[in-house]
Amino acid sequence: MHELLREGLSSRLWLMIPPEGGTPTVRCPFGFFLSPFAEPSTVSHHATVEITPAAVSDAPALTGMLPDELAEELASWDEPRYRASQILDWVFQKRASSYDAMTSLSKPLRARLAATHPLHTMHIAKVQGAKDATQKFLFKLHDGRYVESVLIPANRNAFGDMSDRRTICVSSQVGCAYDCKFCASGLAGFTRNLRADEIVEQILAVEAHSGERIDNVVFMGMGEPLANFTQLTRAIRIIQAEWGIGIGARHITVSTSGLAPQIKKLADFPLPVRLALSFHGATDEVRDVIMPVNRKYPIDVLFDALTYFRDRKKQKITLEYILIESVNDQPEHAAALARRARSIHAKVNLIPYNTVEGLPWARPSEPAQDAFLAILETAGVPATIRREKGHDIDAACGQLRLKQELSEV
Ligand code: SAH
d(CA 147, CA 143): 12
Q: Is the pLDDT of residue 47 over 50?
A: no
Residue 38: what are its φ and ψ, rounded to 5°? Answer: -85, -20
Task: For residue 14, give the nearest of 32, 31, 42, 38 by alpha carbon.
Answer: 38
Distance CA(406)–CA(55), nearest Å, equals 35
Q: Does any ligand 1 atom lie closer than 6 A to the CB of residue 354?
A: yes
| Alpha helical stretches, state H, 282-409 | 284-290, 293-296, 299-313, 331-343, 366-378, 398-407
SS3 content of the chain, % helix, strand, coil (to 5): 40, 15, 45
Q: Say yes or no to pLDDT of 37 above 50.
A: no
Whole-number pLDDT of residue 290: 96
Instruction: Give the Å distance between the CA of 220 and the centre of ligand 1.
Output: 7
Say how many Å lie between the CA of residue 293 and the centre of ligand 1.
13
Instruction: State mean pLDDT over 208-232.
Output: 96
176, 180, 183, 397: the catalytic one is 397
**Residue partners of 297: CB distance under 8 A and separation at least 6:** 258, 259, 260, 261, 305
Active site residue 201: no
Is 180 a residue of the active site?
A: no
The whole-number pLDDT of residue 40 equals: 28
Q: Is the pLDDT of residue 46 over 60?
A: no
> For the whole model, what pTM was predicted?
0.84
- Is the distance from the beta carbon of residue 11 to the nearest atom of ligand 1 less than 6 Å? no
CB contact at 8 A, 168 and 149: yes
Quick check: CB of 256 below 6 Å from ligand 1? Answer: yes
Q: How far apart (Å, rounded) are the C-alpha atoms in residues 268 and 265?
A: 5
Q: Is 31 in the pocket of ligand 1 (CB under 6 A)?
A: yes
Where does the pLDDT of residue 151 fall: very low under 50, low under 70, confident under 90, or very high at 90 and above?
very high
The structural domains of the chain, ordered by start, are 1-58 (no CATH), 66-116 (1.10.150.530), 122-407 (3.20.20.70)
272 vs 155: which has the higher pLDDT = 272
Do 141 and 122 meet the contact criterion of CB atoms below 8 Å apart?
Answer: yes
Check the CA dihedral 91-94-98-103 and report its sign. negative
Q: Which of 69-83, 131-145, 151-165, 314-328 has the lowest mean pLDDT?
A: 151-165
- CB count within 10 Å of CB 219 equals 26
Q: Give residue 186's pLDDT.
A: 65
